[in-house]
Structure 1
Amino acid sequence: MNTNNSITNPNINAKSGLTGQGRVVILGAGESGVGAALLAQQKGFDVFVSDFGVIADHYKAMLERASIPFEAEKHTEESILNAVEVIKSPGIPATAPIIKKLVAKGIPVISEIEFAKRYTNAKTVCITGSNGKSTTSLLTYHILKNAGLNVGLAGNIGQSFAAQVASESYDWYVLEISSFMLDDMFEFKADIAVLLNITPDHLDRYDYKLENYAASKMRIIQNQTADDVFIYCADDEESLKALQTKQPLAKSYPFSIVQTVDQGAYLENNTIHILTEPNNELTMSISDLALQGKHNIYNSMASGIVAKVLELRNETIRESMGNFKNIEHRLEHVAKISGIDFINDSKATNVNSTWYALESMTSDVVLIMGGVDKGNDYNMLKDLVKSKVKAIVCLGKDNKRIHDAFEDDVDVIVNTFSAEEAAQIAFHLAKRGDAVLLSPACASFDLFKNYEDRGNQFKAAVREL
């Protein structure tokens, strides 16, 4: 087994906590990029921001207010290749021409998370996984905040980590960490690392190899020591496989709904048991959880272990897990019209997320799915589609692979090209007692700005019915 938990970047020289070390270039002027620019400026660097696309007006205004120079819709090489370090948006792949040129010149390319961590002594709870990381991050933050901890929420959710490091003084951060972020993190260490699951996602960025994507996810435990904590799902096949090649040094706590564990969390007789220390067990009926469905039992277990590791009171943990409200666009109930429930799960941008959504449905479903296919394997949905889905409404420019996957499993598959059209057709296909579920299993960029735009357009269309 490989017990070396440090993944180094040969182009990085340790700069921890240093200021004013020359020119820093930020690639990408979204939430993470602008936050990184503000922090870099605060620390005395000469900062330049470059975005190959259009910069949103409010981010332009932030850069202008801070007098940070920037460019949009291009990457001017002479303004970028003279950096001492580059902070890259997670959305920019390593194969982008400008990244290749930076690497060839030996200029370090890192993530906003890596950069920001140099300038804070706050402890971090870092949560990754193919599915459930937003929900688990928000639930964990909710529990910690209710318990009175001085805690911030950042990463792939909410306000930029770097921006908060520049302007706040938190003792703890809950960070939602994507594989794209992990790819550009080298010296960073999570005090508490959570790996929820590993299922095929974003394989187009990983040479269509699941083992490459899994290796990226395992970077969540890089640099951890025996003083740190690692929380993982003992029921997840790919996580267990990855752990055979990368053994954690941190104190490990598994969670499971099919077996008991000595330390960690398990399910028995519809009751969650969480214990991290002898004689201090938290128990809670799954019927009292705010988040319902099998996938959310896992999410609640992971958050509960974090809370127990931090020695929070059982009463506080139970109360928080019972009154939490889930995020927008994740199994969000929109309306009930003519006895038909409309549910917005636009955040389901991969097949596994859609599997979780269908698994939680208790009625017949008209499923709205489709968009930018990321190399999806729809086979895992077939049994649930056969048993629960009466019709599929495709929402995307190219729906051929959905037709090919499910034409033998449902009687009706219809193509649509707008949220309004999809909602109207789904409404006519459903009957009283059914659910219309938007759970696309695909990215949104063919017809929408992002999954939020897709979900918002769907909700607006439902309300017009």
Structure 2
Amino acid sequence: MEAPTRGPLRSALVLGFGVTGRAVATALTSRGVSVVAVDEHPTDAIRAEAASMGVELVESPSPQELTRLVSGCDLVVPSPGIPESHPIFGFADAEGVAIESEFDLADRWDSRPIVAITGTDGKTTVTTMVTAMLLASGVRSIACGNTETPLVEAISDPDIEVFVVEASSFRLATTRWFQPSVAVWLNFAPDHLDAHASLSSYESAKASIWRDLDANSGVAIASATDPVVLANRNSEVSTLTFGGAGTNADATVSDGWLCLPDGTQLIAVDELPRSFPHDIT
């Protein structure tokens, strides 16, 4: 899949002015983009933050006012967790205004490698572990995305070599283009149906982590035991699976050792601080 065509970015509407919304507004304004923020329940602290940034903050606009705001910008950036039922999505579609996530914006401005991790459970743990392993290997990396540091903020650090991105379904659902070097999908279970229109919509958001992987160099990593994850594999990219003993996974447990796909014994299970099933698979 080719990256979407992107027009000039002169003005943007940021929906929600929490941690990610503020990071997005900061990234946009620092690049000369005019920003208007919409927040339905801003606190005094949020109002003060918007004022200090020179960003117009519109509180709980009527449908007519929201339509006007959307039609007057080049791009809408919803904050993670905005329900798919929110009227802004219909207004943007009707006005022909693109919707992008913070991942899209980061892709506009940065091309350094990304390891992306999604899944209903375990995202934060695995993101933390991968970041720690990279740092221990001498690779300057940072855990970002669905953390205290949005990806669009993390890219401002020129010293980072690899971004380890916790990719929630909230972010993936509004992303037009996301091409990590490695994309991991840990597992799937019903969740977040207050934000997603349906279970199918939630699944599609998760599956999109593999949609734009480079056919030649991208690597997908999948649970060997989750049927939903396996059913969404991208046949155009290399996929490695992980799972416990007897799962026929590429990376597995064999003779009491965690083994890499090439058979290399990584560490003995009894040397791990914890060895519950979810710890080793």
Corresponding residue for 2:38? 50
1:112 lines up with 2:95 in the alignment: no
Compute the displacement of 1:265 (Å). 1.0
Distance 1:55 1:165, change over 3 A: farther
Deviations 1:225-256 (A, max 9, x none): 2211111111112212333xxx3422211111
Deviations 1:192-217 (A, max 9, x none): 000101111123444443x4322221
1:147 lines up with 2:133 in the alignment: no
1:265 lines up with 2:254 in the alignment: no
Compute the displacement of 1:74 (Å). 4.0
1:287 lines up with 2:270 in the alignment: yes
- Please tell me the residue identity of whatever aligns with 1:274: L
Corresponding residue for 2:173? 183
Compute the displacement of 1:141 (Å). 0.7
Write the distance in 2 (CA, Å) between the matches of 1:60 and 1:164.
24
SS at match of 1:221: coil
**Larger C-alpha radius of gyration, 1 or 2?**
1
Question: Where in structure 2 are there 5+ consecutive unaligned residues?
Answer: none
Note if contact 2:183-2:221 (Cα within 8 Å) is conserved in structure 1: yes
1:14 lines up with 2:6 in the alignment: yes
Of 213, 228, 231, 1:241 maps to 231
Note if contact 1:28-1:52 (Cα within 8 Å) is conserved in structure 2: yes
Write the distance in 2 (CA, Å) between the matches of 1:65 and 1:207.
36
TM-score by length of 1: 0.55
TM-score by length of 2: 0.89
Corresponding residue for 1:202? 192
Corresponding residue for 2:206? 217
Write the distance in 1 (CA, Å) between the matches of 2:206 and 2:224.
16
Distance 1:272 1:63, change over 3 A: same
Of 66, 73, 97, 2:87 maps to 97
Deviations 1:110-133 (A, max 9, x none): 111111221112110000011101
Write the distance in 2 (CA, Å) between the matches of 1:7 and 1:95.
28
Runs of 4+ in 1 over 6 A off after TM superposition: none
Note if contact 1:53-1:73 (Cα within 8 Å) is conserved in structure 2: yes
In the alignment of these two chains, the number of paired residues is: 277
Write the distance in 1 (CA, Å) between the matches of 2:44 and 2:212.
36
Write the distance in 2 (CA, Å) between the matches of 1:282 and 1:60.
54
- Please tell me the residue identity of whatever aligns with 1:103: D
Distance 1:56 1:158, change over 3 A: farther
Compute the displacement of 1:259 (Å). 2.7
Q: What's the RMSD between the two structures over aligned residues? A: 2.4
Write the distance in 2 (CA, Å) between the matches of 1:56 and 1:135.
33
Question: Where in structure 1 are there 5+ consecutive unaligned residues?
Answer: 1-5, 299-465
SS at match of 1:152: strand
Compute the displacement of 1:168 (Å). 4.4
Distance 1:147 1:254, change over 3 A: same
Moved more, 24-33 or 161-170: 161-170
Note if contact 1:30-1:55 (Cα within 8 Å) is conserved in structure 2: no
Write the distance in 1 (CA, Å) between the matches of 2:59 and 2:195.
24
SS at match of 1:166: coil
- Which of the pair has the greater relative contact order for Cα pairs under 8 Å at 6+ separation? 2
Note if contact 2:225-2:247 (Cα within 8 Å) is conserved in structure 1: no
Alignment of 1:425-444 (within 5 A): none
Corresponding residue for 1:67? 54
Note if contact 2:104-2:177 (Cα within 8 Å) is conserved in structure 1: yes
Moved more, 62-71 or 247-256: 62-71
1:134 lines up with 2:117 in the alignment: no
Note if contact 2:144-2:166 (Cα within 8 Å) is conserved in structure 1: yes
Write the distance in 2 (CA, Å) between the matches of 1:66 and 1:154.
23
Percent of aligned pairs sharing the same letter: 23
